[in-house]
Structure formats: C-alpha cells, structure tokens
Amino acid sequence: MERKKVVAGVDVGGTNTIIGFVDRDGNILKEDRIKTNHYPVFEEFVAALYEKIDNITKGSEKELELIGIGIGAPMGNINKGTIEYPADLPWKGIMPLADILGRYTKLPVLVTNDANAAAVGEMVYGGAKGMKDFVVITLGTGLGSGFVVDGKLVYGHDGFAGEIGHTSIRPGESNRDCGCGKKGCIETYASATGLKRTLLKVMADSIEPSHLRKYSFDELDAKIIHDAALNGDHIAIGAFEHTGKMLGFKLADVVAHTNPEAIFLFGGLALAKDLIFEPTKRYMEQNLLSIYRGKVKLLESKLSTQNAAVLGASSLIWSTREQQ
Amino acid sequence: MERKKVVAGVDVGGTNTIIGFVDRDGNILKEDRIKTNHYPVFEEFVAALYEKIDNITKGSEKELELIGIGIGAPMGNINKGTIEYPADLPWKGIMPLADILGRYTKLPVLVTNDANAAAVGEMVYGGAKGMKDFVVITLGTGLGSGFVVDGKLVYGHDGFAGEIGHTSIRPGESNRDCGCGKKGCIETYASATGLKRTLLKVMADSIEPSHLRKYSFDELDAKIIHDAALNGDHIAIGAFEHTGKMLGFKLADVVAHTNPEAIFLFGGLALAKDLIFEPTKRYMEQNLLSIYRGKVKLLESKLSTQNAAVLGASSLIWSTREQQ
C-alpha cells in the first residue's frame, strides 16, 4: 500500500515549539511539541527538534512518508532559511536554522515568518484556494502581513517582504510608541494590544459610564473589550471604530500597492467579526482610489486560529512542490 | 540577410501619441507621431495609430521585422488591454484598445500605464537590468509607481497594481485636496505640482526674503524652484526638504510591502538630484524598520526622460517574450 505523503509543519513560539505532520488536505495526523525556552543554546534546540521529528517519522513510517519540513518563526527569513534577531525567542543574532537542520536530514527545509506562513496556508488549505493575488493580515499581539502575487508568496530581495505592521500612520508627528523603536506604527493601533491602547484613549476622552473603567490596562484583553462592545458599551464600540479606521486606512495603501482580489484578516482580533470588519471595510473603501472601490473583498481567514501556524508552516512545502 | 527585430513602442499622451520602433538594445530606429486630440472618436484614433505603424513597417520592411506593439497610456490596464476612465485623454469610459487594434493586426499588443511601462523599461534597458525586485516611482505632474517582484511586473487582480500616488499621508485629517477626489494623497506632495504647493506653504510660514515671492503659482515650475534652491534660496530648499520628507516616508511603506533591492526615481523632479534624493533617502531610512535599514538603494532612473515612455512601452513586449 502506498504511504500517505505528509509535511512536518513546525511553529516556533517563545514558549512552545509545536510540530504537526500534515497531509495535503490540511489534516494534522500526528502532533508533538518541545519547550522552546528549555534550549538556550540554538544548536541544542535544533537537535531536540529533529529528534522529535525523527521519532514521529519512525513511529508512523508504515503509513506516512515525510517529504519536507516547513517552519514558521518570528523573523524567519525565507531566502536564507534563518531566524534573524527575534525579539521573543531565547536566542540572539542570526540563527541558520535550515542549514543546521540540514546536517540531520536531506529533506527540503523552508523557514519563514508567521504571517507569510499564514498567507501560504490560506492559499493551500484555506479561503484563498484558487486565488492568485491576495494578502493575509494577522492581527495578534502585533500586526503581520503576507503578500501573494500571481500565485506566489512575495519574498523580496532580502526575504523580508510583508512587514507592514511597522509602517506608520502619519509622517513625523505621531505619538504612539512602538516596540520596534519607531512611532505610530499601524500595529500600535490595529492589533490586540493596539485595541487596548485605543480603548484607554477613548476612555480618557469620553465621559460615558462603562464597566471597563474598572479594569486596569494589564487586566484588559481583546476578548473583554469585544464582549463589552457586544453589550453596547460605547467606549468599547468606539475603540473598535477607531481601530477599524486605522486598519482600513492602511489596507487602502495595501490595495494601491499590489491590487489584491481579497484581503484576509486572521487572528484574535479578527474573531470580533462585524465589530472590526464593518469599520475596517468602511474606512478602506473611503480611502481607496475610485478604480479599486467595491472590488476588493475583505474576508475572514478560513484557517482555524488554533492550528494555523502549523498548517501555514507545512503549506510552504506543498506550495513549493506544486509550483515546480 | 536577417532583418532586425523591433517592437513598436507607443506613448499615448493628451496632446501627442508618439510611436517609436525600438530594438532589443533600446535604440529608437524609427519615430513618428499623431495628434491624440484630433481624434475625438476612439475608433478613429486607433485606425490612425495603426495606419502610422503600418506605414513605418512598410517603409522599413527590408531591414526591420515588427514583432509586437507595446502601449503606455494613462489608466492603461494590462490585464484587459484597455484604457479606463482616463482624466487627460479625449475619450470617456473604458476603451478596449488591444481588442480594436487586434482587428488590424495579429501581432501581440500589450497596454499598461506609464509608470508600469517605466518599470519594465528600467528592467529591460535601464538601471534595473538583472534585478528581480525593484520599484520605479515616476515624479511628473503626478506620482506613479510600478512594482517588479521576482522579475515580473505586478499587475494585480484587476490590472491596476501600483497606484501609490493616491495613498494618503495620514488618516482623515489631511487638508490638501487631490484631483482624484481624495485628500492628502502623496502625489499632492511628491510631484512637480506638489513641490509648487509645498513652496507656497513654506513661503506662507516663513519671513525669509526670496525672489520666488515675485512668481505667481501659475508661473512657478519645478525648474524655477530647483534653480532657486541651487542658488541657496531657503524657501526653495525648505520645499525640497519637505517634499523629501513626505516621499521618504512613503518609500519606507513601499519597502515594508515588497522589500525591493532598489527604488528608482524617474521624471522631472528626479532631475533635481541631491536636492530631492538626499532628504528622501534620509527620511526613508528614518522610517524604516531596522531589518531594512541601509539595504535599499535609492537610484536615479537610467532611462532618458525624453524617450522613456516609448522605451517603456516597447519593453513590455521584450519582457513578455523573454519570460516565455
């Protein structure tokens, strides 16, 4: 009997690194994990990662044939197979992940960042099947973006295309600090953290009563603000409105760059559905040049938030095989 | 003797339409023109255009073999071969240029806008030879842009990719009107017209003496402001500084989208060299995320301003043949 082909999708996170063996239809057939922060030495992390992959491979070799390893990691560089200066991982500098893993295996290894992986995942398993030109925006703690042009992920000359989270919303005079060292980056507005910051601003300007006034900044999260907005809290609704204003403004820029068929919103903030989609779409349309108006779809990602990172990482390998 | 292969490059302008027969090295071997605005009926314009091309072909058929027609036009749509709702041409609505020309000839016909044509021209004949990822910004009366990703012009889903001239510099509160109906578009700052508008703003805010105070808005042009700046006029220098600030800010956005190797500036305003390049580069670097800093070249176009439109249009055909 022919064995089923699978790809190892690896999601490198600050706490856990999750490994899933994924088939072409996006089913995760095997899954395991290692503790990222147990390995302060990068080489030891890679050795442990390979050992896990090798164990799963050996345990399932009667049914499954592993054909490649796709890895999503913060600051993953697809051109070089590296992780470069990640803020939230235990290692410093440039880590040649694909090269080190290549000492253990001859299988193809591809590395990219989370948002690029999400974009390819959307194309291979999700709502962008059959689309040639689209963009995925990930709205988590920060804002990531992955661009697909003519059926291919845009890498860019240095492998770092799609970092629009760190474009600013206006020149010079912005006053919202970003963790990257700049000011006014769109992710300081359009992200779970950005929503919290905006809520405080709206609360400061308003005299409306709100039970959110009982929460500290640290206690607040996107879910609490979401629930309050659903209950008619004007301050929470105002925070979503302003978040949509900023995001819609930026998405109009995205459209003017690559004229996609659709923009997919993915991640925690996208779960707020109409609360975020409605104002975002409205302000995007308002900011579009007339030739683009009414044409670009704003869609929910069809990847489940839970598995998306592993699926996205695995999709890198499927997508590359199918383009050859 | 084998005949030399040439492409007809056609530059459709509001007043004149210029036709050049161009070889693979970018030499314009034959040239002629028709008056665009003598043909209020679009079909008659196309008939006259074809007649000119046919005349040149017949007059040179011993030496030259015409292999295709590339056309650059405002609002040219490369997916559909149309010109759509152009502001500065005598026709209204959607003109199916490639289709109508196809009634006369079986040669391949490609249509795109001026900035996309300039981008392909830069790749085929100019400073982007051998580059896979770059952007061309045209700074004329307005601001146009053409994106090349992985060696190919980005068309987008509707054929209108690369209209960043109409992205705004900030959300909502801008006060500079744009001809497109929106406010705060980057082309209201970074273009020959934008420079004039900024000069007036700087002049209004300043008490510095300047001989430019003797010029009306209508009398001013980029050349006069350029000459004044070279002579140390503080108001003119201030206008270039602010233009560079706005353009540099927007180019940092461009980098975050597609991570190009280089950005080429083309057109009248780019002729001001250091006056525009220095502040633009400085503000671009200031607005870049650290992973991009010091890596993206800001270069002068190597297409001569005079022939660029015809060369760019012709390059569409060479570039398409060579990718097949």
pLDDT in tens, A235-258: 999 999 999 999 999 999 999 999
Residue to test with chain A: of B289, B320, B323, most A Cβ within 10 A: B289
Predicted confidence at residue A171, as pLDDT, reads 86
Task: Name which of A159, A160, A170 is nearest B170 (Cβ-Cβ).
Answer: A170
Task: Name which of B149, B163, B180 is nearest A154 (Cβ-Cβ).
Answer: B149
Task: Name which of B156, B169, B291 is nearest A170 (Cβ-Cβ).
Answer: B169
> Do the chains contact at B180 and A257, CB–CB below 8 Å?
no
> Do the chains contact at A259 and B161, CB–CB below 8 Å?
yes
Task: Name which of B85, B157, B259 is nearest A157 (Cβ-Cβ).
Answer: B259
Predicted confidence at residue B91, as pLDDT, reads 94
> Do the chains contact at B245 and A132, CB–CB below 8 Å?
no
Chain A, nearest residue to B160 by Cα = A259
How many Å lie between the alpha carbon of B253 and the closest alpha carbon of chain A? Answer: 5
Task: Name which of B161, B253, B292 is nearest A258 (Cβ-Cβ).
Answer: B161
> Do the chains contact at B261 and A154, CB–CB below 8 Å?
no
> Do the chains contact at B259 and A172, CB–CB below 8 Å?
no
Chain B partners within 8 Å of A261 (Cβ): 157
Those residues whose C-beta lies under 8 Å from the C-beta of residue A322, and which sit 6 or more positions away, are none
Question: Does residue B306 register a pLDDT over 80?
Answer: no
Chain A partners within 8 Å of B283 (Cβ): 171
Average pLDDT of chain A is: 94
> Do the chains contact at B171 and A170, CB–CB below 8 Å?
yes
Return the closest-CA partner of residue A119 out of A135, A131, A132, A130: A135
Chain A, nearest residue to B262 by Cα = A157
pLDDT interval class at A306 (50, 70, 90): confident
> Do the chains contact at B258 and A164, CB–CB below 8 Å?
no
Q: What would the mean pLDDT of A70-81 be, rounded to a whole number?
A: 93
> Do the chains contact at B161 and A257, CB–CB below 8 Å?
yes
For residue A208, what are the CA distances in angstroms to A203, A242, B247? 8, 16, 41
Predicted confidence at residue A324, as pLDDT, reads 62
Task: Name which of A157, A160, A171 is nearest B291 (Cβ-Cβ).
Answer: A160
> Do the chains contact at B181 and A290, CB–CB below 8 Å?
yes
Q: State what percent of residues in chain B have pLDDT above 90.
A: 86
- Three-state SS across chain B? CCCEEEEEEEEECCCEEEEEEECCCCCEEEEEEEEHHHCCCHHHHHHHHHHHHHHHHHHCCCCEEEEEEEEECCCEECCCCEEECCCCCCCCCEECHHHHHCCCCCCCEEEECHHHHHHHHHHHCCCCCCCCCEEEEEECCCEEEEEEECCEECCCCCCCCCCHHHCECCCCCCCCECCCCCECEHHHCCCHHHHHHHHHHHHHHCCCCCHHHHCCCCCCCHHHHHHHHHCCCHHHHHHHHHHHHHHHHHHHHHHHHHCCCEEEEECHHHHHCHHHHHHHHHHHHHHCCHHHCCCCEEEECCCCCCCHHHHHHHHHHHHHHHHC
Q: State what percent of residues in chain B have pLDDT above 70.
A: 99
Question: Does residue B250 register a pLDDT over 70?
Answer: yes
> What is the amino acid identity at position B78?
I
Q: What would the mean pLDDT of A137-142 be, rounded to a whole number?
A: 90
Chain A partners within 8 Å of B84 (Cβ): 291
How many Å lie between the alpha carbon of B61 and the closest alpha carbon of chain A? Answer: 38
Chain B, nearest residue to A146 by Cα = B257
Chain A partners within 8 Å of B163 (Cβ): 256, 259, 289, 291-292
Predicted confidence at residue A268, as pLDDT, reads 86
Predicted confidence at residue A207, as pLDDT, reads 95
Question: Does residue A321 register a pLDDT over 90?
Answer: no
Residue to test with chain A: of B94, B147, B157, most A Cβ within 10 A: B157
Least confident of B27-31, B140-144, B194-198: B140-144
- A–B CB contacts, 8 A cutoff, strictly below: 151
Residue B302 burial (C-beta neighbours within 10 Å; 0-12, 13-18, 19+): middle
- What number of helices (H) and strands (E) belong to chain B? 8, 13
Question: Does residue B324 register a pLDDT over 70?
Answer: no
What pTM was computed for the model? Answer: 0.91
Question: Does residue B282 register a pLDDT over 90?
Answer: yes
- pLDDT per position as a tens digit, A31-40: 999 999 999 9
Least confident of A166-175, A280-289, B68-77, B93-102: A166-175
Predicted confidence at residue A87, as pLDDT, reads 76
Chain B, nearest residue to A293 by Cα = B158
Question: Does residue B33 register a pLDDT over 90?
Answer: yes
How many Å lie between the alpha carbon of A67 and the closest alpha carbon of chain B? Answer: 26
> Do the chains contact at A157 and B260, CB–CB below 8 Å?
yes
Question: Does residue B114 register a pLDDT over 90?
Answer: no
CA distance linking residue B87 with residue B25, whole number of Å: 33
